[in-house]
Each structure stands twice: as structure tokens, then as C-alpha cells.
Amino acid sequence: MAEQVRAAVRTGPGKTELRELPMPDIPDDGALMRVEVAGICGTDVKMYAKPPFAAPVIMGHENIGVIERMGPKFAQRQGLEEGDLVFVEHYVGCFQCEWCHIGEYRHCEYTDWRTNPDARRYGYTSAENEGNLWGGFAEYLYLPWNAVIHRVPEGVSAELAGLVTPLSNGIEWALFEAGVGYDSTVLIQGPGQQGLSQAVACKQAGASMVIMTGTTSDRARLELATTLGADVTIDVQQEDALERIMTATRGKGVDVVLDCTAGAGTAPVLLGIDALKRREGTLLIQGELASFPDFPVKKLTEKAITICSARGHSYRACELALKQLASKRFPLELLTSHTFGLEDVDYAIRAVGGENELDVIHVSLLPWKDA
Ligand SMILES: [Zn+2]
Ligand SMILES: [Zn+2]
């Protein structure tokens, strides 16, 4: 096996260097994964433009690959074999706290880089930590004893499995957080990979109406939303969105609103509050805005709206997402629009951020593409 590992390392804001790192030693309770696919999402765009700290970071937090080498303890604990295709969650659990014991690794302090300076999280934390290969934009990924791993079911390719993260977020946010289920009416704002994944989760769970909004430049994505089962699509720049939502729901408004927009300011939340039904609707929001001037708290409480937060995925949501992909019920492969090699990490992240002409939906980084 190669002594050196090629990795795209973030060295500063909007700066990537292709580096060769030494192959890490694999302890008895650790393993090495050959990275097949690392998905790129909107979070990468933000973390790349404004890194939260200066240490060198191998980005890439949506990682699929093949177990290349394992220590005997790791093999025994994880129940894996060399050659298995796996999805590795970016959360790395302590396996001692209450969150870890219920499969909610996303809430574990050990992996929370915002509050814990020594946290471990794939794609987020320093490449200077032991094992070095802490991100998917590299040929290999280091797996410590406490990596959270899911086996990819048979019949699901590595590239299709790359959709596990947006789809598991779809299941977590729409179904577990916002309670979408049988006969729900749902407004999904933003037809990117995240919004489209929410649409699939909602349809699978029995939603009777999924309304998807986008902008004029989202035309192809809105068509894809229809292919994936959305009942109504709206171009918010050309149409009166609220009027169309009210017509579609016969004046009632929707049960649930899911905000999957990026860089749209306060508009999606304001539309969401108006589009919700008269009482007890649910609004799922993101944390993009640090503050929200003139937030209509009166209207919110008068309508008895519940707000939930878009915040990652649980172990169960990942397992359900993998099952969904294996079922082939929805043509989710239509989401995987672009692939890039390791040399093109900078270009690929910028493409996801809409900086170049590519009309991307889901972008896969394939570290071995040009090798
Ligand atoms: Zn992501
Ligand atoms: Zn924990």
C-alpha cells in the first residue's frame, strides 16, 4: 500500500492545497477506509469561505468508502470485514453520554466543534489530530474505535449511497422533528439536494400534498421535484407564492413548512409563517441568520406555531435513508449531477456555492477519479 496519501487540505479561507500525508498507523481498535465518494453540501461552502479556525482541515463530511484495513479489535467491535462498503457519519461519538446511548451522536459533546476545542468530526476538525485523515477529500479516511459506521446495503452503489446525508436529514427534519406523516400537507422551500430529499421523505411517509418553491434559475430543479413526487411547484420570483399555496390547500394553508433555502434572508421564514394553517402548524428553520429584525413573534404565537431546528441526523435516520435508497422507489440517482476529482476540490465547492456556471444539485468528490 502507498506510503503517502493524497489529500486536499484547507489551509485558509477559500484556499486548498493538494498535499501528501504519511499513511497513519492503524491501531488494534482502528481502521482505514478507502474513500469512494465524499459528498459536498452547502455547509462546505460556508466552512470553506469562513473557516471557524486556522488549523489545516481535510474537508469532506459525507463519506462513503470501502474498509481497506482493520485492527482485530475494530473488526470484532464493529462486526465488519475488509472490503465492506460503508457510510461513516461525520459525528464521532464518545459512547459514554446519554446522547450516544440513544443513537443521537449529533448531540454528543465529543463531536461538537462549536463548544469543544478538542472535538472530532469528519470534515470539520484538524488534520493535525492523531490519525490525520479526518476528512473525505482524501484517498483514505482514518477510523478510530468510536467512528459511527453504517453498512451500505447490497445493490446500492457508492455514488448513490452518497445521498445518505441529505436523505437522512430529510427523514430527521420532516418526519422526526416536524412530524410529517399520513395526509400531511407540506411546503418545502428550496429545491436543492436537501429540499428534494425532504420531498422524497414526505412522500414516502404519506404526505398528501408537497408544495415546492424555488427561484427562476431553479426551473430544472423544480421539474425534478415533480419527477420525485412534488404535487405543486412555484417560482417565487414569477408567481404570488402565498396565493398559490392557499389555492392548492383550498384556503387552509399547510401543516408543515421546511426551509431548505440558502442565502434567501428572512423571506422564507416570513412566507412560511403566513403559509401555515390557522393553528398549530410546524415551521422547521435553519440557523443561517444570526439575527432576525422585526420577527413577527405576535403572529407566530397567535397561530400557535411550533418552531423546530434543522440539526443533522440520528443513527436511525441514516439506516432508514439507506433502506430508502436500496428500495429504488424514487429515482434518486437523478440528484447526483456532478463528480469531480481531488484536484478540483476548490472548483467543486465553488460550484456548490453557485460561483460558476454549473447547474449542480448533488456534487460527489471521487478522490480516485483522476488517479
Ligand atoms: Zn453536508
Ligand atoms: Zn457521547
pLDDT averaged over consecutive 10-residue blocks of the chain (371 residues)? 90 97 96 98 94 95 98 97 98 98 97 95 96 98 98 96 97 98 98 96 98 96 97 98 98 98 94 98 93 96 97 97 97 94 96 88 93 69
Cα(182) to centroid(ligand 1), Å: 28
Does residue 203 contact residue 330 with C-beta atoms inside 8 Å? yes
For residue 123, give the ligand nearest its CA: 1
Cα(352) to centroid(ligand 2), Å: 31
For residue 90, give the ligand nearest its CA: 1
Does residue 139 contact residue 148 with C-beta atoms inside 8 Å? no
Does residue 177 contact residue 44 with C-beta atoms inside 8 Å? no
Of 281, 232, 218, which is closest to residue 253 (Cα–Cα)?
281
Long-range contacts made by residues 296-301, C-beta under 8 angstroms, separation at least 24?
296/270, 299/273, 300/273
Q: State how far the Cα of 28 lies from the Cα of 225, in Å rounded to an integer.
A: 46
Cα(160) to centroid(ligand 1), Å: 15
Cα(92) to centroid(ligand 2), Å: 8
Q: What are phi and psi of 360, to 5 degrees?
A: -90, 150
Cα(302) to centroid(ligand 1), Å: 35
Report in angstroms the alpha-carbon separations of 310 from 5, 24, 195. 35, 35, 12
Does residue 302 contact residue 274 with C-beta atoms inside 8 Å? no
Cα(42) to centroid(ligand 1), Å: 7
Cα(240) to centroid(ligand 1), Å: 31
Cα(102) to centroid(ligand 2), Å: 10
Cα(91) to centroid(ligand 2), Å: 10
For residue 62, give the ligand nearest its CA: 1
For residue 41, give the ligand nearest its CA: 1
Cα(250) to centroid(ligand 1), Å: 36
Q: State how far the Cα of 209 lies from the Cα of 266, in Å rounded to an integer.
A: 24
What pLDDT is attached to residue 356? 84
For residue 44, give the ligand nearest its CA: 1
What pLDDT is attached to residue 312? 95
Cα(106) to centroid(ligand 2), Å: 9
Residue with cell 490525520: 132
Amino acid (one-letter) located at 240: D
> What proportions of the chain, in percent to the nearest 5, are helix, strand and coil?
30, 25, 45
Residue 106: all three cell numbers together: 449529533
For residue 312, give the ligand nearest its CA: 1
Q: State how far the Cα of 110 lies from the Cα of 180, in Å rounded to an integer.
A: 31
For residue 164, give the ligand nearest its CA: 1
For residue 122, give the ligand nearest its CA: 1
Tell me, rounded to whole angstroms, the distance of Cα 360 from its chain centroid: 15
Cα(72) to centroid(ligand 1), Å: 31
Q: State how far the Cα of 282 lies from the Cα of 290, in Å rounded to an integer.
A: 21
**Which pTM does this prediction carry?**
0.96
Cα(264) to centroid(ligand 2), Å: 34
Q: State how far the Cα of 131 lies from the Cα of 13, in Å rounded to an integer.
A: 24
Cα(19) to centroid(ligand 2), Å: 32
Cα(119) to centroid(ligand 2), Å: 11
What pLDDT is attached to residue 363? 94
The CA-CA-CA angle for residues 262, 265, 268, to 5°, reads: 80
Alpha-helix residue ranges (DSSP H) falling in the chain: 42-49, 72-78, 98-101, 158-161, 164-170, 193-205, 219-227, 241-248, 267-275, 297-302, 315-327, 345-352
Cα(244) to centroid(ligand 1), Å: 31
What pLDDT is attached to residue 1? 64
Contacts of 53 (CB under 8 A, 6+ apart): 126
Pairing of strands 256-259, 232-235: unpaired
Q: State how far the Cα of 308 lies from the Cα of 314, in Å rounded to an integer.
A: 15
Q: What are phi and psi of 16, to 5 degrees?
A: -125, 140
Q: How many residues does the chain have?
A: 371
Cα(265) to centroid(ligand 1), Å: 20
